[in-house]
Amino acid sequence: MTTQADPVTTPLPHSLPALPHTLTGDVLHTHWLPVASAAQVQERGLLGAQLLNEPLVVAWLNGRCEVWQDLCIHRGAKLSLGKVEGGQLHCPYHGWVYAAGGQCVKFPAHPEQTPPARAAARTYRAREAYGLVWVALGEPASELPAFPQWDDASFQKVWCGPYTFRASAPRVVENFLDVAHFPYVHGGLLGTPEMPEIPDYDLAVEGTHITASGIRVYQPDPDGTGVGRYVEYTYRVLGPLSASFDKVSDDGRVFSIFMSVTPVSETLSRAYFAVALNYPGMSDDALREFQDHVASQDLPVVESQWPERLPLDLQAELHLRSDRVAIAYRRMLGMIGMTFGTA
């Protein structure tokens, strides 16, 4: 299992470049995006995060997660540097006390004064699902991406990461959808250079949902057990920055991954991976070690890609038949008018 110092899973630094407290991120404001582990928020009380250039504080207040702008309206200090006590968030600078919902309820320097209504933090819509805290910075126009294995008792589930990529979020998603890189980036695990062929597969597109099925390949170690076998992939794009796959072996074993990417900035992303499998034999730690290793192989390649933002003009790069799912993904992003992290 990787340690906290592993560059793949290192938390975002507190010293990110100063950013304006304004919303930038076009259509992504209308989508639910993950920002934190719900368990970590409950354990620590509050966490700092960043989404679409917007600094956020995620706080556990009165039995639920709330997400606010990470800004005390008094003198602009980060609320994430404060503390949670008695179901209230205390600013680290002058001790202003904020209740659930974001309203300031006490000025310690003037305890006799009732804070006015305008003394409130900016709040955002937040939901807990699949063990994560999800945020929509604007009015949600879609539901949470589907993860049916989460409620299926026949599947073992374990969260891996999040993995920090100094790359745009669409680049991270497209890499997840790409099977042709397996023999070279993940040789000996998910592919072998001696068998690089990608057979034709079926592709279906419905709005922002894309399904690529019937992708059959041989993998020397498809699930970390060390046993090589043929597998068949079905990939699903569940929205602009969420996707999943089911990998089915000839013996009926199913190894699935659900992933969703947090676009911290246009060229900095965090990818949350949930591994789910319907057969025994691997501990949670072993699954994490396997996925950490795969992510560490992807990391330098994805971070090397140029341009940093994913080109949506299909004439900007060359494409092959095996790239059909990536082409469909780029077209979908163009269709919905996504500009954040794209070129």
What DSSP assignment string belongs to 163-219?
EEESS-HHHHHHHHH--TTHHHHSBTTTB-TTS------EEEEETTEEEEEEEEEEE
Residue 280 pLDDT: 87
Residue 107 pLDDT: 98
CATH of 148-335, one of 1.20.1250.20, 3.90.380.10, 3.30.420.40, 1.10.10.10: 3.90.380.10
Contact 224, 215 (CB under 8 A): no
Per CATH, 26-136 and 148-335 having the same topology is answered no
Residue 314 pLDDT: 95
What is this structure's pTM?
0.90
Q: pLDDT tens for residues 208-253?
A: 999 999 999 999 999 888 889 899 999 999 999 999 999 999 888 9
Other beta carbons within 10 Å of 167: 26
Other beta carbons within 10 Å of 311: 14
Q: pLDDT tens for residues 99-132?
A: 999 999 999 999 999 999 999 999 999 999 999 9
How many distinct helices (H) and strands (E) make up the chain? 5, 17
Bridging pattern class, strands 268-277 and 156-165: antiparallel
Structure tokens belonging to residue 251:
């013996």
Residue 25 pLDDT: 53
Mark the ranges of the chain whose per-residue pLDDT is less than 50.
Answer: 1-24
Distance of CA 46 to the CA centre of its chain: 19
Q: Which of 215, 278, 210 is nearest to 244 (CA)?
A: 210
- Domain definitions of the chain by residue range: 26-136, 148-335
DSSP codes joined into one string, 86-117: TTEEE-TTT--EE-TTSBEEE-TT-TTSPPPT
Q: pLDDT tens for residues 163-173?
A: 999 999 999 99
Residue 10 pLDDT: 41
Contacts (Cβ under 8 Å, ≥6 apart) of 227: 221
Structure tokens belonging to residue 298:
């992807």
- Cα distances (angstroms) measured from residue 70 to each of 84, 89, 124, 223, 267: 14, 12, 11, 40, 21
Domain 26-136 has CATH 2.102.10.10: yes
Which percentage of the chain shows pLDDT scores above 70?
93
Burial of 75 per CB tally in 10 Å (0-12, 13-18, 19+)? exposed
